[in-house]
Amino acid sequence: MTRSRPPDTLAVLDDRELMSAHLAGDPDAFGVIVSRHRDRMWAVATRTLGDREEAADAVQDALVSAYRRADTYRGDAAVSTWLHRIVVNACLDRVRRTRARPSEPLPEHQDHAQILGHRAHGAQDTAEQTETRQLVLAALRSLTPEHRNALVLVDMEGYSVGEAAQLLGCPTGTVKSRCARARAKLVPMLSELRDGGLSPPDTSGRDPARERGNRSASTSVSSPRRAPASAPERSGGDHRG
């Protein structure tokens, strides 16, 4: 059975190799995988949940669950994609549970301040990026959870409409229409992103198809944005109820 090895030994392994090491009993391998992808997990959690503590709980629960069920990883999608889906499911599940309460959007500045109050550990975040992100997060929080989650999955997390429909448990038409509603509401709120030139790539193109084709290329840095593709395990839907 594999036991502890020096961390730098693990650092050279790719995610799949780390998964194998984890399954073989390596105590640190899974942590290395997590450290590679945690920012992306954090991003989707804060976007869908809009609340820092909820997001932290969701991410922690999801990663612990992933640790325990690593043997369900089939290897037909990237490890990061598999992990991301587990986090997304945990977040959506949490949203559904809190839906029992009245769904008044939270007051914007409250959460906003909450997120602002806990600055990230890294200094790699420029003031401008922070501002952009907070503007977007605040705008997202003004949406209903249904609209927000459809928009987050499709427009921000790179899931196809079909994948989002599966995750959300609703028809694709519903996902599209929720995305449209959400965009309609966000446009005035985010116009300064566009006009203020905070970060948008060129906006000259007016052809929707072209723009949408471009967006994943222009924004995917380290993420499996398009990766949640066609994993056979999803055909059964991994959400019950």
Partner 1 sequence: MAEPIRRPEVDVLADYVEGLLDDDARAQVQRHIAEDPDTAALVAELETLPRLLAATPMEPMPADVVARVDAALARESQDRAAASAADRVGGLPRHRRWLVPAMAAAATAGIIAIAAPVVLDRGGQDDSLDGAADAPAAQEGRTAAASPESLSEQEDDEGGSQSPESLEQTDRPPALTSAEFASQVKTLYADAEPATKEDLAVTAADPQTLQQPLTLPAERLGERVAPVCDGAVESTFRTAILYDGESAYLLVYGSPVGGGPQQAVAFRCQGDEATILQQQPIDLP
Of 10-29, which residues contact partner 1 (CB under 8 A)? 23-25, 27-28
Q: Provide φ and ψ at 179, rounded to 5°.
A: -60, -45
Between residues 11 and 64, which has the closer beta carbon with respect to partner 1? 64
> What whole-number distance in Å separates Cα of residue 131 and Cα of residue 201?
17
Per residue in 42-69, is it b (16+ CB within 10 Å) or e — as a string? bbbbbbbbbbbebbebbbebbbeebeee
**Residue 213 Cβ vs partner 1, minimum distance, rounded to whole Å:** 10
Residue type, 63: L
**Residue 49 Cβ vs partner 1, minimum distance, rounded to whole Å:** 13
> Binder to partner 1 among 98, 103, 110, 216 (CB under 8 A)?
216
Binding to partner 1 by residue 67, rule CB under 8 A? Answer: yes
Stretch near partner 1 under the rule CB under 8 A, chosen from 7-15, 61-69, 101-109: 61-69
> What whole-number distance in Å separates Cα of residue 89 and Cα of residue 203?
33
Binding to partner 1 by residue 230, rule CB under 8 A? Answer: no
> What whole-number distance in Å separates Cα of residue 27 and Cα of residue 82?
20
Radius of gyration of the chain (CA): 19
Stretch near partner 1 under the rule CB under 8 A, chosen from 6-14, 99-107, 196-204: 196-204
**Residue 15 Cβ vs partner 1, minimum distance, rounded to whole Å:** 15
Task: Pick out residues in 24-53 that bind partner 1 (CB under 8 A).
Answer: 24-25, 27-28, 30-31, 34, 38-43, 46
Between residues 106 and 198, which has the closer beta carbon with respect to partner 1? 198
Element (H, E) at 27: none
Binding to partner 1 by residue 187, rule CB under 8 A? Answer: yes
Task: Pick out residues in 150-169 that bind partner 1 (CB under 8 A).
Answer: 151, 154-156, 158
Residue type, 61: D
Task: List Cβ neighbours of 70 (8 Å cut-off, separation of 6 or more).
Answer: 19, 22, 23, 30
Binding to partner 1 by residue 80, rule CB under 8 A? Answer: no
DSSP 80: H
Stretch near partner 1 under the rule CB under 8 A, chosen from 7-15, 100-108, 192-200: 192-200
> Binder to partner 1 among 98, 103, 110, 203 (CB under 8 A)?
203
**Residue 80 Cβ vs partner 1, minimum distance, rounded to whole Å:** 13
Cα 87 versus chain centre, distance: 8
Cα 113 versus chain centre, distance: 21
x/- track of binding to partner 1 for residues 86-105 (CB under 8 A): ---x---x--x---------
CA angle 117, 132, 198 (to 5 degrees): 145
Binding to partner 1 by residue 241, rule CB under 8 A? Answer: yes
